Copies of this chain bind each other. A is one copy, B any other.
């Protein structure tokens, strides 16, 4: 028989739908019974989960057409997590064993019930690195944009979860020049010292001018985590045939003036045509590219060619505050809550 821990566990719930950015009081850490797995499921004790900016949108009511449902008051938050299997599934032979680490999307809680098909999280030297959205950055640069050696890459939000890996990946893939935007001088320093960037540009009114200086021949590939004015600057700097991959909408998510559920930007379609620009939204990574990423990421981490930039937050009690911190631009890399 499996040893299911008795009693209760903690999880983070939405208490009230915020009008703007979430504040203390919108989220709460509450106690709830430890869930009981059904046939085909296993109970896991979560070890790490990710705090990510799209939660702003999810708790604000969601975006029409989004694949994940919006959260309503009373709902438990969710997101990428790595947990340790507590007990084998009843009557399942091939499933994960107690002690195995698995990746799933039932973060923001100490215990979760996940399908026995949840993929193992044991191929990277640091299991928390499974929470990095590196597969997205990798797919953007490879399968979607088709980065060629020598090309110039521009990454908006260069110090964030995606950006801090995108710079390093672009460098490994042979980019000729890698430029990233950021809102702070401290982050800019780390981008150049650690994240593969040749130059950084600020998130202010001088952005276009500074980008023209940092990439005087223009940019070929753009990994856009921000949208808004930064996307406009990317289009202005785009060379003929440029590929712009849209991943995130931080400009909308970090702004108190925005609802967080729309990310409007005015683009000049003349410019898109005369420069033969491709703009592509990237929602999810196909399985083959995802597997390829884990293999390369593991190799690069072990050889020291790449790092896993992240900020660790200790304990579920600090998770609500970590979301506020993330949305105020406080952190670098992937934000990981360690339980």
Inter-chain contact B282/A273, CB cutoff 8 Å: yes
Inter-chain contact A273/B281, CB cutoff 8 Å: yes
Chain B residues whose CB sits within 8 angstroms of the CB of A267 once the complex forms: 264-267
Closest to A275 in B: B65
Closest to A226 in B: B269
A231 CB within 8 Å of chain B: yes
A271 CB within 8 Å of chain B: yes
Closest to A278 in B: B280
Inter-chain contact B278/A283, CB cutoff 8 Å: no
Chain A residues 252-274 with CB under 8 Å of chain B are 252, 261-274
Report the minimum CB–CB distance from A288 to chain B (whole Å): 16
Inter-chain contact A265/B266, CB cutoff 8 Å: yes
Inter-chain contact A268/B279, CB cutoff 8 Å: no
Number of interface residues of A (CB under 8 A): 39
- Indicate how many identical chains form the complex: 2
CB contact between A268 and one of B67, B248, B262 (< 8 Å): that residue: B262
Contact flags A272-306 to B (C-beta < 8 A → 1, else 0): 11111111111110000000000000000000000
Given contacts A252-B270, A261-B270, contact A280 B277 (CB under 8 A): yes
A159 CB within 8 Å of chain B: no
Given contacts A265-B266, A270-B263, contact A278 B276 (CB under 8 A): no
Given contacts A246-B269, A262-B268, A270-B63, contact A279 B276 (CB under 8 A): no
Inter-chain contact A266/B266, CB cutoff 8 Å: yes
Inter-chain contact B279/A279, CB cutoff 8 Å: yes
Inter-chain contact A66/B274, CB cutoff 8 Å: yes
Report the minimum CB–CB distance from A257 to chain B (whole Å): 16
Report the minimum CB–CB distance from A211 to chain B (whole Å): 16
A46 CB within 8 Å of chain B: no
A247 CB within 8 Å of chain B: yes
A249 CB within 8 Å of chain B: yes
* Complex Cα–Cα for A41 and B227 (A): 50
Inter-chain contact B264/A57, CB cutoff 8 Å: no
CB contact between A274 and one of B265, B278, B281 (< 8 Å): that residue: B281
Report the minimum CB–CB distance from A176 to chain B (whole Å): 21
CB contact between A280 and one of B227, B279, B282 (< 8 Å): that residue: B279
Chain B residues whose CB sits within 8 angstroms of the CB of A264 once the complex forms: 266-269
Chain B residues whose CB sits within 8 angstroms of the CB of A63 once the complex forms: 270-271, 274
Chain B residues whose CB sits within 8 angstroms of the CB of A262 once the complex forms: 268, 270
Report the minimum CB–CB distance from A262 to chain B (whole Å): 5
Inter-chain contact A273/B283, CB cutoff 8 Å: yes
Inter-chain contact B269/A249, CB cutoff 8 Å: yes
CB contact between A269 and one of B270, B276, B277, B281 (< 8 Å): that residue: B281
**25 A–B contacts from the bound complex (CB under 8 Å):** A57-B270, A63-B274, A65-B275, A66-B270, A246-B269, A246-B272, A249-B269, A249-B270, A249-B273, A263-B268, A264-B267, A264-B269, A265-B266, A265-B267, A265-B268, A266-B266, A267-B267, A269-B281, A273-B281, A273-B282, A274-B283, A276-B280, A277-B280, A278-B280, A278-B281
Residues of A within 8 A of B (CB): 57, 63-67, 224, 227, 231, 240, 246-249, 252, 261-284
